[in-house]
Amino acid sequence: MDDATDDTALFTIEGHTGVITLNRPRALNALTHPMVLRIAGALAAWEREPAVTQVLLRGAGERGLCAGGDIRAIHHDAKTGGNASIGFWRDEYRLNARIAAYPKPYVALMDGIVMGGGVGLSAHGAVRVVTERSRVAMPETGIGFVPDVGGTHLLARAPGRLGTHLALTGAAVGAADALLCGLADHFVPADLLPELTADLAGAPAARVLPRYAGHTPPPGELAAHRAWIDHCYAAETVEEIVERLLAVGEPAAKESAETILAKSPTSLKVTLEAVRRARELGTLERVLEQEFRVSSHMLRAPDLVEGIRAQVVDKDRTPRWRPATLGEVDRAEVTRHFDAPAEGQEPIFPTAGPRA
């Protein structure tokens, strides 16, 4: 299960709790393929171990649980025409499904930054704890990608059109809004996390959490904006959504429109389609299969390489999207992303493939 030479993820048993610590604090605990495999191995071992009655996920350092996947590695893979990312996503998405179906309580401490792959490791768990420092987001449209790791499944189930708003803008939300959107279950002040962790070593989460979760999170923002969010994001296309946002007369809506227009036009249109299809697919496994197909196609698209270059590699924040405008994105190009993966890219869950 464990490679003693690899300390990017640490596995300990404290009392009756199996503890996973993501241990790349200088990289905001960004997730690598070896980390995914080792976490999956630990969960498999602890599932068979009677002495382990629950699992706790946390991140090293104080900046966040996990900022997502190692997108520099994905950038190199996409730029060189490699296939390593395909294997990474397959194993990562399988891990997301394992977490969602885990037979023992899986407690995720979503403290600090929790984005992309970090959401996949935490928000599918049975017990999800946020703090006043939490910033939860699926920001993929800003790098020419799409929400994955079951993110479209989670966002499709958010109240009203809140999930569509978060998917297109990539906006990060705090504790109150994460609770509102169904991305978390409990608020616990950050300074109580060490005590909470210690108590979980000696008692079940169901007994421990009520002693900590009676606090009120700082006020959120989304509830006050529900009227214009639900109206604007119900529009049929991304172009119409932007038009409504600009016409509604709310400064926050105008800001959202400007944010959307800075993202990859192709990613925006594929993301809107993905969230809407996810509502109809039902199970997480079926949505992950859809995300796998979309991710596999996005790996070969120019916007992923360009988006990561602009945001992470060169950091000039001026991506040159192709095509450059929403109107230039062909409908057939959007639907192509939902086609089956190429030959040799077998489904993640053979029994959960696309509907006939």
Active site residues: 69, 117, 140, 148
Sheet strand arrangement including 135-137: 64-66, 113-115, 135-137
Query: In which element (H, E) is residue 113 found?
Result: strand 113-115
Contact 135, 190 (CB under 8 A): no
Give the DSSP letter of residue 234: T
- Name 186's bridge partners: 129
Give how far Cα 149 sits from Cα of 24, 26, 116, 258, 318, Å: 20, 23, 7, 26, 27
Give the C-alpha separation, 68 to 64, whole Å: 10
- Angle between the 238-247 and 162-169 helix axes, to the nearest 10 degrees? 100
Strands 135-137 and 113-115 come out as parallel
Contact 27, 95 (CB under 8 A): no
In angstroms, rounded to a whole number, what is the distance separating the alpha carbons of residues 177 and 207? 25
Determine the Cα angle at 307 with ends 67 and 97, to 5°.
45
Spatial separation of the C-alpha atoms in residues 317 and 341, rounded to whole Å: 31
Token pair 């169904």: residue:
182
Cα dist from 330 to 71, 325, 326, 336, whole Å: 27, 11, 9, 10
Please give the C-alpha separations between residue 141 and each of 27, 118, 144, in angstroms, as whole numbers: 21, 16, 5
Lateral strand order in the sheet of 106-110: 9-14, 17-22, 54-59, 106-110, 127-130, 186-187
Q: Which two tokens stand for residue 273?
A: 């389609």
